[in-house]
Structure 1
Amino acid sequence: MAHLPIFRHGVAGQGRYTHSLEFQVQQYIKNAFWPKSKSSINEYASYFRYFQWTLSILAWPESSVDGEQFAIKTYGDLARTVRCMETNIGLNRLMIAEKLRHELPQSSQDQILRSMDLAARLWLTIYVRSRDVPVGPSLSDITETQWMDTMSLQNIIQECFQPSNCSTQHCEARIDVAFTVNNLRKFCRMKIQWTANLKDHLNYDRSTGTLHLFPHKICLISHLESKSVLPTDLVAETLRTLDLLFPFGDESTQKYLAESGQDFYRTSSRDPSRATDFGEFRYWQRRLVELHELFHHAPKSVLQMWYDRRNPVQWWTFWLAVAIAFLTILFGVISSYTGFQQVVLAEKAYRLAILQACSQGNFSADLCGK
């Protein structure tokens, strides 16, 4: 598997990644990235879809993607690049590139730097895109991470994931048991967008009402098992956020995940217990607190008011008031309509009476229109 080429030519000779990954290739990549993972290869189905998507968007702009642009040409090259980056996590970018030059002697520095960015995306699920050797397009819904020459991989990780500095009040605040993704969708009308960029996890876009969530739970578990370069507490905490927003045993959550085509619910965490307060989080605390505050904002639309039944007394009071107001208006309209009809009928009766009197000669000719 190590000698199989990563990039294969597609239609009309353009270097697009169009073939599917064979089982043996998936197994090789899993062992290269997470050698101590105990998970079944079937649990990585969603991740390998991301793997293929990442390679498919490299053909940007219209130029082909092949070995002339990247130092890694085979899956074995990719594995060697990841091992070198992991072993030298404290060295800056150019130093790692220099070490890789010995591993990949026929490659230029630019080819190696592009390969390092690509390896970081595939291995760490962080969208690294450096300006000097940009790899793939700049996507509006993904936050890019720049790898400067003086920065190490460790510096990048620290810059992407910094502990929150929330107040003591927030740290001690209890988390509502109803605080789940399904309820955020119903009560706050949030749209969910799955993101393979770990840096964008729990990022909420107020302008579009979109919440970004990282779905590759199996990768997080694999990083823990293999003691990868990602901080253990960061990975464990990210798993806790998924368990918090997608509680086990919740039927509505299971239904939503099934409708969304996400199967990470079946992947068990080390600690399946649900978090109860924000003090349990450091890296994702600020974003969780912001979401929790949005969750408790007063509903802004009638539809939100209908779904938000967290306070039954308040819900019934509001909708009874709406019902009474509606019935009052309805009966007022009906009363006005019947009153108008009575006036019309009275006028018709009056005219009929005059016509009858005129026919009997009881009124003057002027009154009867003669």
Structure 2
Amino acid sequence: MASVAASLLEPLSASTKSAVIDAFWGPIPARLSRSCDDCQLEQFWEFYTKECEHALHDGGRHVFVRTHQDILDIVALLKKQRSRDEIRDFLRWKLTNVYPNEDELLDCSIDLAAGLLLMIDFGHLHYGFSGRLRLNWTKGPLKDCLERHFCEAPVLGHQGVKLQRVFNALNLQRIAGVDIIPTDNLADHLRLTDDDTKLYIFHHASVLKCQSASSILPADLAEETLRTLALLFPQTDTPTRKWLRRVIPMLSLDPQLLLCGHLKTDDRQIENFTYWHDRLVVLKQVFDEATPQNMSQWWHDRRNGVQWYTFWVAITVLGLTLLFGLIQSVEGAMQVYGTFYSGAK
């Protein structure tokens, strides 16, 4: 227990990480195919450390928690489906002093633990602006809040929407000009911003793979999110793999993005997506309506094979015409020069 009794601001030890993993998810699933000490959760630990440091800013005047054990105590109550009021009463009982901002201390501590467990932003950001979606959980068990947010029935129609193989993150960037922005907030996954020029991707595939049947997340949400990653980062697509290998170190992405598999034709049907259905419909519309703006985009845009070949044949013919015209002009100039030079003699 000594490891989890350490301060949230101290570097994470191997025993602390192991205790957090056991409390959050239980045994690491075999599909990560690595040991607990090296299970490709490095990006999660960076997130965990960053969130703890941010919560304890300003001398920790805004949260009650101080140790990893404090976090794990709240997580245990969250997983037992205790209501927010019950968790608040439990924490209030642990207070040893009277604080003028007691409610803020308790609520921010609950939101911190819930955010670390699920990688979802909760509550209001009291200091600053992040631009990230935040779930407003004020009462009842956390699971009820998650179901209200994620389990809304899709409202957008999908007639004619086809998720072809060409529809992936690499082509979204190089054809449609959509920048891929990694996010640590699951609620922001597949969200388009800045006039549809930026796409947020929840890249923590390893965390999604760690979710078990006892997860607080709605049923199959983690699995469907993994399928959206397999759709956008197909494991069998060579250009995507080469691109990912280059950007993973640059953007500190989860290496498990390379191992999300690929979707067969039946699996890529839009009807198979429920939680992310509407965001995929909007994203596909942005992709379909994108028109090339430069030569690079024209080269990579092979959504319409006939149009692509016609365009580049025309460019080739134009280039050859200009080249031959230039050659003829040079030859004509040389002939004129030769005639003038001979006459001068």
TM-score category, normalised to shorter length? 0.7 to 0.9
Q: Does 1:113 align with 2:107?
A: yes
The 5 A counterparts of 1:180-329 are 180-207=168-195, 209-223=197-211, 225-259=212-246, 260-261=248-249, 262-265=254-257, 275-297=267-289, 298-329=291-322
**CA pair 324-268 structure 1, distance change in 2 beyond 3 A:** closer
**CA pair 337-266 structure 1, distance change in 2 beyond 3 A:** closer
What is the one-letter code of the residue matched to 2:181?
Answer: Q
The 5 A counterparts of 1:71-90 are 71-88=64-81
Q: Structure 2 CA distance, aligned partners of 1:101 and 1:88? A: 18
Q: CA deviation at 1:292?
A: 2.2
**Structure 1 spans left out of the alignment, 5+ residues:** 9-18, 354-370
Q: Does 1:145 align with 2:135?
A: yes
**CA pair 106-254 structure 1, distance change in 2 beyond 3 A:** farther
The equivalent of 1:99 in structure 2 is 90
**CA pair 266-329 structure 1, distance change in 2 beyond 3 A:** closer
Q: Structure 2 CA distance, aligned partners of 1:267 and 1:311? A: 29
Q: Does 1:45 align with 2:42?
A: yes
Q: Does 1:160 align with 2:153?
A: no
**CA pair 27-236 structure 1, distance change in 2 beyond 3 A:** same
Aligned alpha-carbon RMSD (Å)? 3.0
Q: CA deviation at 1:152?
A: 5.0
Q: CA deviation at 1:319?
A: 0.9
Q: CA deviation at 1:252?
A: 2.7
Q: Does 1:123 align with 2:94?
A: no
What is the one-letter code of the residue matched to 1:153?
Answer: L
Contact 1:234–1:283 at 8 Å: present in 2 too? Answer: yes
**CA pair 327-137 structure 1, distance change in 2 beyond 3 A:** same
**Structure 2 spans left out of the alignment, 5+ residues:** none
| 1:24-83: CA deviation from partner (whole Å, max 9, x where unpaired) | 1111111111135435422222211211122233465xx33x3x4322111111111112
Contact 2:75–2:117 at 8 Å: present in 1 too? Answer: yes
Is the partner of 1:212 in helix, strand or coil? Answer: strand
Q: Structure 2 CA distance, aligned partners of 1:303 and 1:314? A: 15
Q: Structure 1 CA distance, aligned partners of 2:263 and 2:209? A: 13
Which of 10, 13, 28 is 2:19 aligned to?
28
The equivalent of 2:8 in structure 1 is 6
| 241-250 or 206-215, which deviates more | 206-215
The 5 A counterparts of 1:329-368 are 329-333=322-326, 335=328, 352=344
Q: Structure 2 CA distance, aligned partners of 1:343 and 1:249? A: 60
| 1:163-207: CA deviation from partner (whole Å, max 9, x where unpaired) | 42222515xx43202222223233223322211100111112353
Q: CA deviation at 1:281?
A: 0.5
Contact 1:57–1:137 at 8 Å: present in 2 too? Answer: no
Q: Structure 2 CA distance, aligned partners of 1:3 and 1:207? A: 46
| 1:325-346: CA deviation from partner (whole Å, max 9, x where unpaired) | 2333444455556656766777
| 1:229-258: CA deviation from partner (whole Å, max 9, x where unpaired) | 110122221111112222233333332332
Contact 1:84–1:99 at 8 Å: present in 2 too? Answer: no
| 289-298 or 68-77, which deviates more | 289-298
Q: Structure 2 CA distance, aligned partners of 1:255 and 1:337? A: 44
Q: Structure 2 CA distance, aligned partners of 1:226 and 1:24? A: 25
What is the one-letter code of the residue matched to 1:52?
Answer: T
Q: Percent identity over the alignment?
A: 27
Report the TM-score when normalising by structure 1. 0.76
**CA pair 328-33 structure 1, distance change in 2 beyond 3 A:** same
| 1:288-330: CA deviation from partner (whole Å, max 9, x where unpaired) | 1222233333323221111123444332221111122233344
**CA pair 301-32 structure 1, distance change in 2 beyond 3 A:** same
Higher CA-based Rg: 1
Contact 1:187–1:299 at 8 Å: present in 2 too? Answer: yes
The equivalent of 2:62 in structure 1 is 69
Report the TM-score when normalising by structure 2. 0.81
Q: Structure 2 CA distance, aligned partners of 1:226 and 1:233? A: 9
Q: Structure 1 CA distance, aligned partners of 2:215 and 2:26? A: 10
Q: CA deviation at 1:159?
A: 4.5
| 1:123-174: CA deviation from partner (whole Å, max 9, x where unpaired) | 111112425xx3x64323x223334x4565245323432342222515xx43
**CA pair 325-332 structure 1, distance change in 2 beyond 3 A:** same
